[in-house]
Amino acid sequence: MSDLYSRLSKDDAAVLLVDHQTGLISGLVRDYGVDEFKNNVLALGDTAKFFDLPVILTTSFENGPNGPLMQELVDLFPDAPKIARPGQINAWDNEDFVKAIEATGKKQLIIAGVVTDVCVAFPALSAIKAGYEVFVVTDASGTFNKQVADAALTRMAHGGAQLMNWFSVACELQRDWRNDVEGFGNLISSHLPGYQNLMGSYRGAQRDFSKQSV
């Protein structure tokens, strides 16, 4: 059964952020509080930035009630492809979106979006059918309520998607604290306040060790 564990690789992963639009977040996301949800989305964004993963942004009907993309994502990824879909509900039905994914050359897709049961589930299942490995970031995806989210996540898992949260994505990409303990610690603690205590303890121990070595 060990062959069922396919690990994320920073060398073969791209991040798809689907419809994290202001209208959709404020109007439809009810399984998370707005502040918590935005923190999770930005944590995933910062993770992508930290590991230098290609990021593709897409929006649906942004000139209508769905609203514009979160400004924080625009600021974080000013050079990322941003596919404004004129009408397609399933982002995979948009030729430019698929071409942008193909241009990355990556075969592992980390996907999150609003809403989970449509804007995430539809392209996730389509990507699996197209031969990609798909990793759905559950806490950076939101929808009407927990029951709807659970049903959507079950559907995607049965379809072959791996379900993760942003923290587990970051840890699996990092592999080993020693790869960059300070940088990785700063990434985690900036979005998980409890980790600030861990980093404070680590830095205190480092200072004590340095004094003893003098």
Q: Which residue of the set 119, 120, 124, 187 is catalytic?
A: 119
Active site residue 171: no
Q: Look-up: residue for tokens 């992963």?
A: 13
φ, ψ of residue 165 to 5 degrees: the values are -115, 170
Q: CA-CA distance, 105 to 32, in Å (whole number)?
A: 33
Q: For residue 140, give every residue at least 6 positions away whose Cβ sits within 8 Å of its Cβ, in sequence order, or none.
A: 37, 40, 41, 43, 44, 112, 165, 166
Q: For residue 171, give every residue at least 6 positions away whose Cβ sits within 8 Å of its Cβ, in sequence order, or none.
A: none
| Residues recognised as catalytic | 119
